Amino acid sequence: MRGWGRRRKEGAVPVTPELSPHSAVAEPAAPAEQVAEPRFADITAAHRMLAPLMEAIAAVGGPHCEVVLHDLSRRDLEHSVYAIVNGHVSGRSVGGPSTNLGAEVLRDESLDHNAFGYRGRTADGRELISSSVYYRDHDGRILASLCINRDLSPTQNAMAALSALLPESSGDAGGAPHELVAPDVTSVLEDMISEAITATGKIPSAMTKADRIEVLRLLEDRGAFHIKRAAEKVSARLGVSRVTTYGYLDEVRRG
């Protein structure tokens, strides 16, 4: 028949035009699944999984970083240490005890007891920074804990040694000289004037004649007027004329 053009072959399947990337309709992304908390059948399975992690943490943390796996399945807190790396930090070894936190955790296993970056202390008084993660068995009971304890005393001792190298402040140095270090002598003079003004406890506009003379006395004692144009700078800062400044300076020098 006219108007049909070529006739479709009998039994042919119609071809659907391909969609371009821009016209394709994307399916909605599936919601991200929450990562399940790892659980273990027993302490042996937990140790098999966590032993490489313990070694990795200790290798990065260094010799002052202790990593301990506690077996809490037997509820024997006196002998809970199942595996330990760098045990010299706390003086413990395999078969050693748990801490007071172990008893608190077992008192109520329903809570999330994971704790990060808390402070602890060794028996001989060294300060620790610690983190603890607890693992459960397939029945939901607390099975084990992985504890990291880093001894802060080496860092604290290093800081103390560095502090000992720092000089005491001028207030504690018993008359030691106070040096002003600046890129040019004008800056040095400005600092000297600022310190003299600050020593009076007043701003220039509130100063009396006695206050201004005290500023001049402090500057004279420090040799400020050996610097070129010192009188001009002082006059500008105090808000007085150079004639007045020289008059005050004469009074200071006469005593």
The pair of structure tokens assigned to 173 is 């140095």
Residue 163 to residues 40, 118, 159, 179, 208, Cα–Cα distance (Å): 49, 26, 6, 21, 43
Query: What per-residue confidence (pLDDT) applies to 168?
Result: 66
222/144 Cα distance (integer angstroms)? 70
Left (φ > 0), alpha (ψ -120 to 50) or beta: where does 5 sit? left
Helix 230-238 and helix 242-254: axis angle, to 10°? Answer: 110
Give the right CATH number for 39-157 from 3.30.450.20, 3.90.600.10, 2.40.50.140, 3.40.50.300: 3.30.450.20
Q: CA-CA distance, 54 to 52, in Å (whole number)?
A: 5
Start-to-end C-alpha separation, the chain: 131
Give per-residue pLDDT as tens, 107-122.
888 899 999 999 988 8
Measure the CA–CA gap between 16 and 225, rounded to whole angstroms. Answer: 97
Q: Where are the domains of the chain?
A: 39-157, 178-254
* pLDDT average, residue stretch 146-160: 92
Looking at residue 25, its pLDDT comes to 44
Average pLDDT, the chain: 83
Reported confidence tier of residue 177, pLDDT bands at 50, 70, 90 = low
The pLDDT of residue 185? 79
User: How far is Cα 192 from Cα 222, in angstroms, rounded to an integer?
Assistant: 8
Among residues of the chain, what percentage have pLDDT more than 90? 54
| pLDDT above 70 for 219 | yes
Lowest mean pLDDT among 19-28, 67-76, 118-127, 142-151: 19-28
Angle ∠(56,51,83) on CA atoms, nearest 5: 115
